[in-house]
Amino acid sequence: MTRTVYVNGAYVPENEATVSIFDRGFLMADGVYEVTSVLGGKLIDFAGHAIRLERSLSELDMAQPCDMDELLKIHRELVRVNEIDEGLVYLQITRGSDGDRDFLFPDPETTKPTIVLFTQDKPGLADSPAAKKGAKIISIEDIRWGRRDIKTVQLLYPSMGKMMAKKVGCDDAWLVEDGMVTEGTSNNAYIVKGNTIITRQLSNDILHGITRAAVLRMAKEAQMQVEERSFTIVEAQEADEAFTTSASAFVMPVVEIDGVALGDGKPGNIAKRLREIYLEESLKAAV
């Protein structure tokens, strides 16, 4: 089945969708994005993603191409026409193209943002074999820019980090700045000590994960302790458990960090429990 995608107001087959070669997303990584998961044909935490998108756009003085009701309609329509039961909806908004290359932003009165959405079909996303095995992590230096709270499409270093992990037979990388873990390449990072979940406090240093907010809320509701503070790789290696969260992998147990197995080297009970709670609760609230 040819996928139907959305580009600047039109639903078109993917091989007919076009964007200018002068688009600032392409030339300057001048764009923001969101990834929303789909379970049972419904969107998980759409409101959270929509609110973060508004904030990303406003931090970059970028116009919002359509209101959030319209955005929800587009998400739902793409899920419907592409018959997505489990998968993702990717959304990208860039500052558009004024038909040339210039460092200065084009006049927003005359240059409209580019908006693109597409679906990714991922059967078995919830019942993932990777989550049953747990992830092996390496640590690498965090050399990204200082506004990681804005979800921009500057994903070269996260891609390089995942390639570095793959090269040594691992699944992902955690990023370390000034000796402290910031987050994963495409997820937020957590360790568990006893009944306490520890994850870095919110700031410009990390993306304010939508899954993070939901998981911390659910953890508190389940009487777990939550500590928002930085931690080192050594503290993580000595922890009882570790995990990551993201819209694309939900709660992913971590079983090894820089070659050191955590606990018995299997996914931890708290991570497994949080994954179950997250999937159950999110499905109930899906739209």
Cα–Cα–Cα angle for 139, 271, 198, rounded to 5 degrees = 60
- 150 interacts with ligand PDD by CB under 6 A: no
Owner of token pair 């939508």 = 210
- 183 interacts with ligand PDD by CB under 6 A: yes
Least Cβ distance, residue 154 to ligand PDD (angstroms): 10
Least Cβ distance, residue 187 to ligand PDD (angstroms): 5
Q: Which of 106, 209, 267, 268 binds ligand PDD (CB under 6 A)?
A: 209
Q: Tell me how far apart the alpha carbons of residues 254 and 231 are, in angstroms, rounded to a whole number.
A: 15
Q: Tell me how far apart the alpha carbons of residues 182 and 231 are, in angstroms, rounded to a whole number.
A: 9
Q: Of 42, 112, 151, 220, which one is the catalytic site residue? A: 151
Q: Tell me how far apart the alpha carbons of residues 252 and 65 are, in angstroms, rounded to a whole number.
A: 34
- 211 interacts with ligand PDD by CB under 6 A: yes
Are 75 and 46 in contact by the 8 Å Cβ rule? The answer is: yes
Q: Tell me how far apart the alpha carbons of residues 39 and 87 are, in angstroms, rounded to a whole number.
A: 7
Owner of token pair 């390639």 = 163
- 154 interacts with ligand PDD by CB under 6 A: no
Q: Which of 245, 254, 255, 256 binds ligand PDD (CB under 6 A)?
A: 245
- 161 interacts with ligand PDD by CB under 6 A: no
> Cα 72 to chain center, whole Å?
18
Instruction: Select from 7-15, 118-126, 165-173, 203-211 the region that touches ligand PDD (CB under 6 A).
Output: 203-211
Beta bridge partners of 13: 4
Least Cβ distance, residue 140 to ligand PDD (angstroms): 13
- 188 interacts with ligand PDD by CB under 6 A: yes
> Cα 223 to chain center, whole Å?
26
Instruction: Clarify whether 42 is annotated catalytic.
Output: no
Query: 116: closest CA among 19, 21, 16?
Result: 19
- 212 interacts with ligand PDD by CB under 6 A: yes
Q: Which of 12, 27, 35, 176 binds ligand PDD (CB under 6 A)?
A: 35
What does the binding site for ligand PDD look like in residue numbers (CB under 6 A)?
A: 35, 183, 186-188, 207, 209-212, 245-248
Catalytic residues: 151
